[in-house]
Amino acid sequence: MRAMQEAVKERGRFAIALSGGRTPAKLYVLWAHAEEQGVTTPWNRVHLFWGDERYVRHDDLLSNYRMAREALIARVPIPAANVHPMPTGQAEPEKAAETYESELRAFFGSEPPAFDVQLLGLGVEGHVASLFPASPALEETKRWVAAVEAPAQPPKRLTLTPAVLNQGRNTLFLVAGADKREIVQALRGEPISKPSQYPAGRIRPAGRVLWFLDRAAAGTAGS
């Protein structure tokens, strides 16, 4: 909330990059619920973008856009022009990545692509957004959006690259479940002086980085 107020005050808008996965879905439902409880969001100032997307139709069950639409967008008065899903209708994902990059460049103008908030999940092998271990997109310093082949279903995906994700003003990692405990510990144990061997560890923006772990992922739940 504070990040949103600051962004609206300083820049007249709040740009957030949403994530897919099960964990953020709960947050979207809570955000929509807050609206019903009278905690209002200045929706005309909020711009929703995506950190990654599965290359499927927007009405597909696997679509990250669909998940956010059902949990949040359809329940709040956000102007349609403020919702910026990753395009998935083109035959070539590479072209779709270029289209989304142009949309981001038009939005940020001459400023760096620094999201006010970026929500990120964590995969059991350390993936973040759709940046999986050994993906060439991890080395991307110029392109903002990449079309990638992920070792997950569905394999074709679009993802923001570290060129964008390392600019974020507020980065929120949302991690839940005992299956994440090992990777959380591995990331914690890495020296920060060296580049991380995990994609999630390669996202080290100068802004605020917060990790939200449930007890199972943090390793504090009884086993």
Helices (DSSP H) in the chain: which residue ranges? 2-11, 22-36, 64-71, 93-108, 162-165, 181-189, 215-218
Residue 22 within binding range of ligand 6PG, rule CB under 6 A: yes
Whether 175 contacts 155, CB under 8 Å: no
66 near ligand 6PG (CB under 6 A):
no
Q: Does 123 bind ligand 6PG (CB under 6 A)?
A: yes
Measure CA of the first residue to CA of the last residue in the chain; give whole Å. Answer: 34
To ligand 6PG, the closest distance from the beta carbon of 22 in angstroms equals: 4
Any contact of residue 19 with ligand 6PG (CB under 6 A)? yes
Question: Does residue 118 bind ligand 6PG (CB under 6 A)?
Answer: no
Sole binder of ligand 6PG in the list 52, 101, 116, 140 (CB under 6 A): 52
* Nearer CB in complex with ligand 6PG: 106/134: 134
Cβ closest to ligand 6PG, residue 59 vs residue 111? 59
SS3 content of the chain, % helix, strand, coil (to 5): 40, 20, 45
171 binds ligand 6PG (CB under 6 A): no
| 64 contributes a contact to ligand 6PG by CB under 6 A | yes
Q: Does 20 bind ligand 6PG (CB under 6 A)?
A: yes
96 touches ligand 6PG (CB under 6 A): no
CA distances (Å), origin 127, targets 43, 58, 79, 81: 31, 23, 32, 30
Q: Residue 90: what are its φ and ψ, rounded to 5°?
A: -85, 150
Point out which residues bind ligand 6PG (CB under 6 A). 19-23, 52, 54, 64, 121-123, 127-129
